[in-house]
Structure 1
Amino acid sequence: MFNYFVRSFIDWFFRRRSPGVILIRAGVPLFAVVFVGLTFGITLPTSKGPFIFSWDSAGSAGALSWGMFVIACFIVLLGAFLIIRDIRLENRKKIIVIEARGLRDWQGQPLGSAVPSTIPGQREQVIVDLRQGIVDGQIVSPNAAIRRLASLPDDIARRCGGLDRSNISFVLGGLAPVPFLFLLGVIVDDESQVFIMDWDRAQCNWRVLADEDDGKRFIVTGLGAVNATMKRVALCISASYDVIEADVRIVETGIPIIKMELEGRNTSSHWSETKQQQLAQQFLDTVMSLARQGITEISLFLAAPASLTLRLGMLYDKRNLPHVEVNQYEQSDPKRFPWAIRMPVAGFIHAELTQR
């Protein structure tokens, strides 16, 4: 406990911008200023007689030095009090770090170790390992991975038990197939504070979404083809790679295709939090528009980075939006999209596998 307190104090002092740290950094230099003006003495007995080490300031200068010394002590003590208070408040907060592992059989850097210190709270790492049903990036048993994700809500509830929701936040990230990441977003939802991080393949580390917004958004086409007699559409979102219409038509025939294509899309055009929020809002607006036109089923074809996929899943309203199936792309499969996961939304309690 003592070691944890020392580490927390050092973390606050050197990394955090807080009133307590500011006061200590202002108060400590005052000691150096008044040190030479203080009046005090130290006497040490030695074999050759007492050794006296003293400063002596008299009159108004000495009174001023002592006054500054008292003020410096007060500032430092107040700063220490504020830091201890902040550390205790932070200890009440919990960060649940959820990392989905579902592509390659390697450990890599855990997401929990990359969470920045600017996100306060005690960290709890939750690794959702989906690789039992995946071999070298190929999906062997989607149902096995779905079952692993299905147990996550109970795990989250256990970790959050007895805690105030305002003291709980989540950090999400993962490397897994798109349907599983979208499902993870649906499970976590957006009712608590959630921070999303992503894996930078070029730098081989986890990163926060801290880049500037380049202003590029989805171009939405095909909404005009929807009419009141239709109940199902294919929604194709190209945010990194292209979703090819010919591939979609292999599994979805005779229904309208709605396209959302990101301007200037590539595999590294997603590192802005603001941009992702705007793209997610476009997605929500499009789905709501389809719902208003009577659409009750959406077949979603999504080519997007992991962080954006998680965000879209979190944003998807479980009660008021249409049923949605998220399709899995397999380039080597002649069907291109051999299976999908029906999300637990719009009255469906559990995620379900759809084979084609």
Structure 2
Amino acid sequence: MIKYFVRSFIDWIFRRRSVGVTLVKIGAPLLAVVLVGLTVGVTIPTTQGPYFFSWDSSGSTGAISWAVFIIASFIVLLGAFMIIRDILQESRKKVIVIEARGLRDWQGQPLASAVPSSIPGRPEQVIVDLRQGVVDGQIVSPDAALRRLASLPDDIARRCDGLDRSDISFVLGGLAPVPFLFLLGVIVDDESRTLIMDWERKKHAWRELAEEDDGKRFMVTGLDAVNADIKRVALCVSASYDVLEADVRIVEAGVPIIKMELEGRSTSSHWSETKQQQLAQQFLDAVMSLARQGVTEISLFLAAPASLTMRLGTLYDKRNLPRVEVSQYEQSDPKRFPWAVRMPVAGLPHAELAQR
């Protein structure tokens, strides 16, 4: 607590603008002038000639010096009080940092160490280690990984117990299979302030999504093939790699396929927060359109960066949107999508594994 207080105090002084800091900056120089005993003179030009005002803290103007000393001391003390008050208010805030680890032999920088100082609150690190189900980089026990994620809602509830929602922020990041990242987003949802970060493979560091929006969006096709008689569809989202229709047909034969293909997609076309928000809105609009047409089940095939995958999960309404299962792609498997995770939405109380 003391360490956090000292760090927060330094942040307030050097990085944050506040009334308290402003008062200290005003009062401290005045107090220094009085204590050092300098003579101050000011010349003010008027229509009747220059007016010269001066005072000497060590001379005959001692009464004025004492008055200035009292006023400056009051200003400094008031500013210090306001800084301490703000820090104490901030200390009630909590930042829950959730990092999903799904790659073998992970030795990278912890997400908690990369949380920007602009997010107020005491950080609490939550690491969801899914690597027990990984062999040579491939998920072989998705049920074991799913069990680890199943306890996360209770963990989050315990950490948030007794706190106002406005005092809670989330930071999300992870390197794990797509279904688990999407599920992580569904669990956290978007009801609290959430910062999503991503792993920069070239720099081997966590980064915020701070680049400019290039204006490229999803091209949506296939919605016109859906009618009131269709209850299940395959939604293919290609935001980094391509989701191939031939692979989807292996596990979803006979259902309409809706495609959302990002223009100019690549593995590095996702570093804009604004762009991701717009892409997520396009995804949400497509799902809502399917729901209005009577679709009750969505089989989601998603090829996207981790940050965008989690963002789509946070936006997926648990009550008003169709049931959704997110498939895992395995190039070496003849089925291509050997398993999927049914998300805890639309009345499904817990996430379920669907083996194919």
CA distance in 2, matches of 1:181, 1:280: 15
TM-score by length of 1: 0.90
Offset, 1:144: 0.4
Range moving further from structure 2, 140-149 or 255-264: 255-264
Q: How many residues in Structure 1 have an aligned counterpart in Structure 2?
A: 340
> 2: distance between equivalents of 1:149 and 1:225?
36
Q: Percent identity?
A: 81
1:336 alignment partner, SS class: coil
Distance 1:139 1:209 in 2: 28
**Alpha-carbon spacing, 1:63–1:272, altered in 2? closer, same or farther (3 Å):** farther
Q: Residue 63 of structure 1: CA displacement? A: 4.9
Amino acid paired to 1:282: Q
Q: Distance in 2 between matches of 1:75 and 1:244?
A: 68
In the alignment, does 2:152 pair up with 1:152?
Answer: yes
CA deviation profile, 1:161-208 (whole Å, cap 9, x unmatched)? 122222112111111010000011111111222111111112111111
Structure 2 contact 238–262 (Cα < 8 Å) conserved: yes
In structure 2, relative to structure 1, the CA distance for the partners of 1:256 and 1:12 (3 Å cut) is same
What is the aligned partner in structure 2 of residue 115 from structure 1?
A: 115
Q: Secondary structure of 2:260's match? A: strand
Q: What one-letter code is carried by the residue in structure 2 that aligns with 1:57?
A: S
Question: Quick one: distance in 2 between partners of 1:6 and 1:158?
Answer: 27
Query: Once the two structures are superposed, what CA deviation does each residue of 1:290-319 show, in whole Å capped at 9, x if it has no partner?
Result: 011111111101111111111111111111
Aligned AA (2:313)? G
Distance 2:120 2:348 in 1: 35
Residues in 2 aligned to 1:164 and 1:140: alpha-carbon distance in whole angstroms: 40
Moved more, 183-192 or 7-16: 7-16
Aligned partners of 1:319, 1:223: CA distance in 2, in Å? 22
CA distance in 2, matches of 1:355, 1:158: 32
For the residue of structure 1 that corresponds to 2:309, the secondary structure is helix
Separation (CA, whole Å) in 2 of partners of 1:172 and 1:267: 19
Indicate the residue corresponding to 1:52 in structure 2: none
Question: Would the aligned equivalents of 2:301 and 2:327 in 1 still touch at CA under 8 Å?
Answer: yes
| C-alpha distance after superposition, 1:123-172 (max 9, x if no partner) | 11100000111123201100001110001111111111122222112111
Q: CA deviation at 1:18?
A: 2.4
Question: Cα offset for 1:338?
Answer: 1.1
Question: Which SS does the other structure have where 1:267 is aligned?
Answer: coil
Q: Secondary structure at the match of 2:197?
A: strand
**Cα deviation, residue 72, structure 1:** 3.1
Q: Which residue of 2 aligns with 1:320?
A: 320
Change in CA separation of 1:313 and 1:29 when aligned onto 2, cut-off 3 Å: same
Q: What SS does the aligned partner of 1:124 have?
A: strand
How far apart in 1 are the matches of 2:249 and 2:344? 25
Matching residue's letter, 1:179: P
Residues 81-102 of structure 1, C-alpha deviation per residue, up to 9 Å, x if partnerless? Answer: 1110111101111111111001
2:43 is aligned to none
d(CA) in 2 for partners of 1:64 and 1:262?
Answer: 71
Partner of 1:226: 226
Q: What CA RMSD, in Å, does the superposition of the two structures yield over aligned residues?
A: 1.9
Counterpart secondary structure, 1:300: strand
Query: Pairwise mapping of residues 1-356 of structure 1 onto structure 2 (< 5 A)?
Result: 1-37=1-37, 57-60=58-61, 62-356=62-356
Unaligned stretches of 5+ residues in structure 1: 40-54
> Greater shift after overlay, 4-13 or 169-178?
4-13
2:53: which partner in 1?
none
Instruction: Tell me, yes or no, if the aligned pair for 1:103 and 1:136 is still in contact at 8 Å.
Output: no
